[in-house]
Chain A
């Protein structure tokens, strides 16, 4: 072979290797809902190039009305997704071979809200009332909380709006502190006109958003996943320190996706989501899932499903980040 041909082959080989490498570092991430400030940390990590700096080529896709994030994961359309801990554990118990690689949220944001005019000012008064709950899920914790108190209610599935609650079609509504609660406020109901019941105040401070991958992905790409989690936490850190910038980024992203929104709401959401990530005496390490939270969630699901299905903590939780020795 002549030298020029050798050179050409060499160049081709280099290109091939580089390409393969790039292919290997590609990660598709899907949060479990449409774009909003709840996922600001991911958008920031992408926007600020934290993923790129970590050697990752991250693409963020979003679920829609017909496909949820878990489907993306199962079908291989996403390498990594975010799910509530209950949803993730529920999936694991239902034989979806996924693992939790990092627990981003540390606290519960789920709550009941009632109008003061309804007179419902304690959970007991919810007995026999119509309570709105998302049709798409997340009702396990509120249900467990009421079950524990043997309060029977009529659960009314709601798609996503707060209009049934506003119009009085339901007596109480299950809401997220960072989202629907503020939507109600943004429809003209003052905070002093509402009673709130935070799950966390009733012994159900179950952490929510966590990151999940299929077990084989974890086995094969733990380095990439660690890089992803670290860059994501960096993204959250940046978002926490640059909230105006972050809110603008989120709002821009939502408007591009034709999702009506405004800064006021996204600002609220960002602030409250960051609050749910705050570490405290309960948990001192970002991204860590506590055994106690796992056990409590497992217990809720068993009671809900009325079975004794189980999964080992060590099998479910595969932290990609090394625990910090000094903590």
Chain B
């Protein structure tokens, strides 16, 4: 089996085109079919009307001359042209001169001729090649009550009888035309009786059935009562009427047609009889009598040519559709072929080969535009990559410079531990872990004079190079100020003044400075807005330093910084830190926090500065779980051993 790739361009285009084409075809075919059908119905109707007209004309051509015969005879009888005894001769003459007439009679009213009794009805009729005569009328042939006599007598007008089988003539189908006549008796005009002419109806079926309508179409003739006079199905003749068929065929439409005809309505219509094929019929009355003619067209046959051509059109369309699919897919594939090459090229370019050859396009269409766009893209990409290289190298240079800056920064803060091997009174450990290459945290410690140990920790606002520069300035100033001043608050105050001076960038630094008397254990400290350090007593209690509220350094040059003091005991430890510790964040934005920090500080088994900082570092690592460090983390621990 052929696998159809649904995600190809040609599949999509072809399915859409097919959908439109099929829709259009269905619309066009429907319009064509219904219009043609309409035309066929109209032409069938015209044909049926003409056909029925022709047949009617032929029938009238026979009936009308026959009708004239008794009419003329009636005039002659009224004028008294013939004697009673010559009537047989007159009737014989009529038969001789009118070969279509089977029999003729003059039936007189009861007791018209007293000497002839109640009945007097001379009748002549054909018998083989001869013409026979007879006087009819007796108890068994009480003609006064027969339709042909009774009806024209009552209505006093000529009429055709319903057709009947004449037993005397050998069961021949006949109809009688009866004309009332009058005679003058005592100069008064009296109704005298009925003149009849009998007409064999065999010729009718000849006229009616000689017409061929397709294969199974036919015509039929009905009497005034709707009884079949001619019909291709001989069993229908005289037995069935359109109304009895309506019952037997369970087809009320037949009754509707019959009632139309009884009202003289002519119509062309279609009808269905259960279990039979649909048919079309035109029906109308004859002129002479109330008989009617029907012309039946089988629906299947009149629309056969239309059905055939429609089938042919559908077959051709399907063939055309297949051809269209094959050709269109070929054309589309041909047209879209460069796309595949373009996609391959795009992949090559994406792999970094900016010099890949763009597939050549010979056509001057969208493909050419694509080609140009590709070429443009190729150039732009090459240019961009070139720029990127330059930018990257510039960035690398900056990064290397920053690395150097960090090394310098780190070099500025003491990083040799233990820093004072010859001072057993204190042991100290500190660590600064920058968030970026260079940070704004600082710590420092140094010996002020023989027994005074100074330490400081700070955090410059902001980060990066400016912070690190500000930190460097702070550290440098700290050292230079502490050369002259020995009080914590003074050092801090002077430092503030120096930093605030010309501080255009409004940078500031939180700062904690402590001066520990190594002999007495008194610690004097001043805090400029920095996180208060933690005092871990030799008993293992960890408490925050109580510090006065003071603003960071560098903001207001005249701010008065105060100092506090506390006496340390042997084994007490100070844990100073920056907010990078308490505000260390994990990916859920949960802070490490003071509580956790204090918990770590309390639970250190061997309270040595290095170990404590290691543990704290580990606790922070565990908290952040590798989440990107956003701030410098600085910790410093001093243990008083004196």
Contact = CB atoms under 8 A, between A and B. Distances in A.
B147 A161 contact: yes
B244 A260 contact: no
Interface in A167-198: 167, 169, 185-188, 190
A258 B166 CA distance: 10
B142 A185 contact: no
B137 to A, nearest CB: 13
B247 A164 contact: no
Interface stretch (B174-182, B255-263, B429-437, B494-502): B255-263
B244 A157 contact: no
B151 A262 contact: no
A166 interface: yes
B248 interface: yes
A154 to B, nearest CB: 12
Nearest to B171: A258
Contacts of B165: 258, 260
Contacts of A164: 147, 150-151, 154
Contacts of B248: 262-264
Contacts of A166: 225
Contacts of A65: 140-141
Given A255-B239, A258-B171, A187 B226 contact: yes
B154 A264 contact: no
B162 interface: yes
B151 A163 contact: yes
B595 interface: no
A117 interface: no
Interface in B209-246: 225-227, 238-246
A161 B162 contact: yes
B146 A260 contact: no
A135 B245 CA distance: 30
Contacts of B246: 264
A292 interface: no
A188 B140 contact: no
Nearest to B146: A159
Interface residues of A, number: 26
B252 to A, nearest CB: 11
B365 interface: no
B225 A187 contact: yes
B238 A188 contact: no
A262 B242 CA distance: 11
A39 B566 CA distance: 146
B151 A167 contact: yes
B240 A188 contact: no
A66 interface: yes
Given A135-B142, A159-B145, A260-B239, A169 B151 contact: yes
A112 B225 CA distance: 21
Contacts of A159: 142, 145-147
Contacts of B162: 161, 163
B167 interface: yes
A66 B151 contact: no
A258 B237 CA distance: 12
A158 interface: yes
Chain B, interface size category, equals 20 to 34
A133 B145 CA distance: 11
A89 to B, nearest CB: 23
A169 B243 contact: no
Given A185-B243, A258-B165, A262-B241, A169 B146 contact: no
B255 A260 contact: no
A163 B165 CA distance: 17
Contact of B239 (A158, A163, A262, A267): A262
B341 to A, nearest CB: 83
B225 A265 contact: no
Nearest to A255: B239
Nearest to A261: B239
A188 B255 contact: yes
A70 to B, nearest CB: 15
A190 B238 CA distance: 21
Contacts of A187: 225-226, 241, 243
Nearest to B139: A66
B145 A157 contact: yes
Nearest to B163: A260
Q: Max chain B CB contacts within 10 Å: which of A65, A166, A167?
A: A167
A157 B227 CA distance: 24
B205 to A, nearest CB: 16
A264 B140 contact: no
Contacts of A66: 140
A265 B151 CA distance: 24
A34 B440 CA distance: 136
Residue from A164, A188, A255 with most neighbouring chain B CB atoms (10 Å): A188
A164 B151 CA distance: 6
A188 B244 contact: no
Nearest to A190: B259
Contacts of B255: 188
A188 B225 CA distance: 7
Interface string B141-158: 110011100110011000
B147 A186 contact: no
B247 A135 contact: no
Nearest to B223: A187
A37 to B, nearest CB: 14
A205 B170 CA distance: 42
B145 A188 contact: no
A61 B255 CA distance: 36
A159 B245 CA distance: 26
A189 B282 CA distance: 22
B244 A262 contact: yes
Given A135-B142, A164-B150, A188 B171 contact: no
A50 to B, nearest CB: 28
Interface in A122-177: 135, 157-159, 161, 163-164, 166-167, 169
A158 B241 contact: no
A65 B162 CA distance: 19
Given A258-B171, A263-B244, A264-B248, A188 B151 contact: no
A167 B224 CA distance: 10
Contact of B243 (A188, A255, A261, A267): A188
Contacts of B241: 186-187, 262
A260 B244 CA distance: 12
A135 B171 CA distance: 25
A169 B150 contact: yes
A262 B240 contact: yes
Interface string A49-92: 00000000000000001100000000000000000000000000
Interface string A237-262: 00000000000000000010010111
A260 B242 CA distance: 14
Contacts of B262: 188
Contacts of B167: 258
A188 B222 CA distance: 13
A267 B227 CA distance: 18
Contact of B238 (A135, A158, A260): A260
Report which residue of A163, A255, A263 has the largest number of chain B beta carbons within 10 angstroms of its beta carbon.
A163
A158 B147 CA distance: 8
B247 A188 contact: no
Nearest to B138: A66
B147 A163 contact: yes
A267 B247 CA distance: 10
Contacts of B239: 255, 260-262
8 contacts: A135-B142, A159-B142, A159-B145, A167-B151, A167-B155, A260-B239, A262-B244, A264-B246
Closest 7 CB pairs of A and B: A264-B247, A264-B244, A66-B140, A262-B244, A260-B238, A169-B154, A187-B225
Interface of A: 65-66, 135, 157-159, 161, 163-164, 166-167, 169, 185-188, 190, 255, 258, 260-265, 267
Given A169-B150, A169-B151, 19 more contacts: A65-B140, A159-B142, A159-B145, A159-B147, A163-B151, A164-B147, A164-B154, A167-B155, A185-B243, A186-B226, A188-B242, A188-B243, A190-B259, A255-B239, A260-B165, A262-B240, A262-B245, A263-B244, A264-B243
